[in-house]
Structures are given as structure tokens and as C-alpha cells.
Amino acid sequence: MISEKMKPMVENNSVIRVMFEEGKRLSALYGAENVYDFSLGNPNVPAPDAVKESILEVLDQEESTFVHGYMSNAGYEDVREAVAQSLNRRFGTDFGYQNILMTVGAASGLNVILKTILDPGDEVMVFAPFFLEYGNYVRNYDGKLVVVSPNTSDFQPNLQEFEEKITAKTRAVIINSPNNPTGVVYSSQTLHALANILREKEKALGREILLISDEPYRELAYDGVEVPYVTKYYGNSVVCYSYSKSLSLPGERIGYLVIPSQLKDSGDVTVAAAIANRVLGSVNAPSLMQRVIKRCIEKDVSVNLEAYDKNRNLLYQGLQECGFTCIKPEGAFYLFVKSPVEDEKEFCAKAQTHNLLLVPGSSFACPGYVRIAYCVSYGQIERSLPAFRALAQEYGLKSKGKPGLGK
């Protein structure tokens, strides 16, 4: 009954399910508070109070048939305008409602734009480490994923290899900053260089190449680090955004696409993307949540960054003290830690014996590293540190922490 394209995914899925079942088994055995699950990017911080307030206001003040009804496939015009103006205020852009398409989260936004532009055989480039799901999205439209190998010195993209791998089949590049799984923010310098390469290649190949920026972590940036807005660097850009992380609404599936006017054939791309949104079955982004987003924008609601920042500092310092190696993340809620042994899956298995659930870097096309998602409670991080210490000792790691700072 199952299509040839889906069969390998079904086979592969059972591996993930085994991991999930293992977490449940450990929790049953040792108690949930003694299992340190760092595997999921599910925000532990509750949605801001303004979300609930806004839901109540919408239900009280707006008509039921309007709030729960169909609207344009691109979303309510007033919501799109509010999103555009919010971007303009924050990033000095010049968008109007016609540049915004409300989507069922960023995953759906990525599917919408890929369906809009990809012909079979078109190549889409990504920089390792990357969210492996991009490959599935690209294959949905018979595109071919081309992976640029990781630059493990600072996890900025490897632009030399990128330039070399662009071909006459290249149609798009997906970037993700702040990055899952490294927490790295692509710098202004990086984006300038990336845009220059793309512009030169476009001219040389006589073909547009779309820069797709997947930005669910945009607001999760620490120490005042700026996350540059890609449309200001390169005209043929599309931004995929989600409120999953910034408003802790991952289950609600609400986000948007930005399709700037400078984009080649922008008007047609906008029409095509709205159609793709429809025919892929989303039809439109969930209506009540669209209305809520507008009010949250008006209230200038922002993510509870402090909670994640506290987690980041505690975990980063704790891991340093244990002797683990990783760069300090500037954004998102992940630490990407070097495995003390080459086979990081072996390391993950060893971690599991200490009730630590980590994700191997090969799940992000970057073996030799593991991802630790710190969107958990502060208490879980505190309780997990002795387990990390015991794990480090098994590998004979030496503390890198400053004396006196450790507990």
C-alpha cells in the first residue's frame, strides 16, 4: 500500500521510535526527574501571558464566522500588514502585506516555497550541520539536496566549497541562523560574502538562485548579538518564519513567508506560493492564531530570552568544567558538543547509561558531535550536571573551567 518514496522513511522511522521508547523506558525505571532528556527542541518556557489574553480578546471582540472562517489563502490582510510593519520597524525593511504569506509554521512555509520553485532534478544546497528534514522537503518536489561539508572551526558556512558546488542545476540554498544544531549566528560578513557568490553565479549561469532563510530562532540571540536580515543582503531571498520558538507555540503551526518585492517575478511567486499553500492542503494558516499574532505584535510581546540564557550559561559552564569541547552558542537553544570519541553514536549510547539523552551529530550530517537541546527546565540542567561529570570521567576528560567557578 505504501509508495516507493515513503518506504525508506517508514523503515528509518522505526529507529527514531526506538530512541523515543528508550526514553520512556528509562523514565519508568528511574523516575522522569532522573532522566535528562536533551533530545527535543520543544520549548519548556510557556507561551507569554499575552497569547492567552489575545485569544480571549479575539473571542470576545471579533465575529465567530470571521475568526474561524476562510480568508485569502495567503492569510488575513490586516495580520499580514501587522507582520510587515513589525519587520520594517525592527529591521529597516520596506515590506507591505503583499510580501507576507501566513503559513502552517516554518516547515510548511519551506514546503510552500520549494513547491513553488522546484522542477525535478533542481539542486538545493544546504550547509552541514543542518536539520535533516530539509532533505525530505526537497525530495517532496523531486529536487536534489547538495550538502556543503561543515566548517568545524566556527560553524560559519564553508563558502569556498559552497561556491565550488554551485552548478547549472542549482535553484536554491537553505540557510538557518541562529542555527539548529550549533547555535551559531551567521554574521553580516558571512551574508555579504554568500550574497556576492550568489550574484556572481547568477550572472555566470544566467539563472536565478533563491536564498531561503529558515529563521524560527531569529529572536533567540544572546549577548546582544545581531541576526542580520537576509533580504537586505540579497534580493532573491525568501524568509521562512515560525512563532514556534519565539512565542512557544510549536503545536499551533503558525508562521509566515516573506517574499520581497525585489525577488525576480515577485508578484507571480506570491500568487504561486498562495496556490501551493492551498493545494498542499494547508489552505491557510490557522485562523484564530493569525488573529492572535496580530494582537501579540501590537503588544510588542517578546520571547522569554532570560530563561534560555540562564540555561545556556549554566550548561555551557558546566560542560566546560567537565572538560567537554564546544563553541559557546550565540543563539537558538542548542549546544553542539564535540564527541570525545570519533563515533559519536557510541558516545550517545554511553551518555544514555547515565540517563542523558543526546542526539548524535550524524542526524545533522555532522558526525563526531552531539546536540544538546537546553530548552528544558533549569532544574533538569542542575540535576544533570553530575551525570555529565561522570560521563566525562569515563573518557578521562580534564576540566576547562576556571578554578572556583565550579560547584
- For a copy of itself, the binding residues in 136-155 under the rule CB under 8 A are 136-137, 140-141
Q: Rule CB under 8 A: is residue 205 a binding residue for a copy of itself?
A: no
Shortest distance in whole angstroms from residue 151 CB to a copy of itself: 28
Q: Does 304 bind a copy of itself (CB under 8 A)?
A: no
Nearer to a copy of itself, 187 or 304 (CB): 304
Q: Which residue has the cell 498542499?
A: 280
> Should residue 378 be labelled a site residue for a copy of itself when binding is judged by CB under 8 A?
no
Rounded Cα–Cα distance for residues 286 and 122 (Å): 31
Find residue 356's DSSP bridge partners: 36
The answer to whether the Cα torsion of 9, 15, 21, 26 is positive or negative is: negative
From the list 35-43, 151-159, 183-191, 317-325, the region that binds a copy of itself by CB under 8 A is: 35-43
Minimum distance between the CB of residue 114 and a copy of itself, rounded to whole angstroms?
9
Element (H, E) at 147: strand 144-148
Query: Does residue 211 belong to the site contacting a copy of itself (CB under 8 A)?
Result: no
Query: In this structure, are residues 231 and 244 in contact, taking their beta carbons and an 8 Å threshold?
Result: no
Choose which of 19, 40, 147, 305 interacts with a copy of itself (CB under 8 A): 40
Contact 374, 334 (CB under 8 A): yes
Which of 19, 27, 55, 327 binds a copy of itself (CB under 8 A)? It is: 55
Phi, psi of 145 (to 5 degrees): -85, 130
CB of 76 to a copy of itself, least distance (A): 9
Nearest distance, CB of residue 55 and a copy of itself, angstroms: 7
Q: Which stretches within 31-126 are classed as H helix?
A: 49-61, 64-67, 77-91, 105-117
272 binds a copy of itself (CB under 8 A): yes
Q: Which of residues 63-92 bind a copy of itself (CB under 8 A)?
A: 63-65, 67-71
C-alpha cell at 131: 536539520
Residue among 125, 210, 296, 392 that touches a copy of itself (CB under 8 A):
210
Q: Is 3 in the site for a copy of itself (CB under 8 A)?
A: yes
Nearer to a copy of itself, 98 or 149 (CB): 98
Q: Is 264 helix (H, G, I), strand (E, B) or coil?
A: coil
Separation CA 34–CA 36 (nearest Å)? 6
Q: Which of 52, 310, 402, 407 touches a copy of itself (CB under 8 A)? A: 52
Nearest to 173 by CA among 154, 139, 147, 151: 147
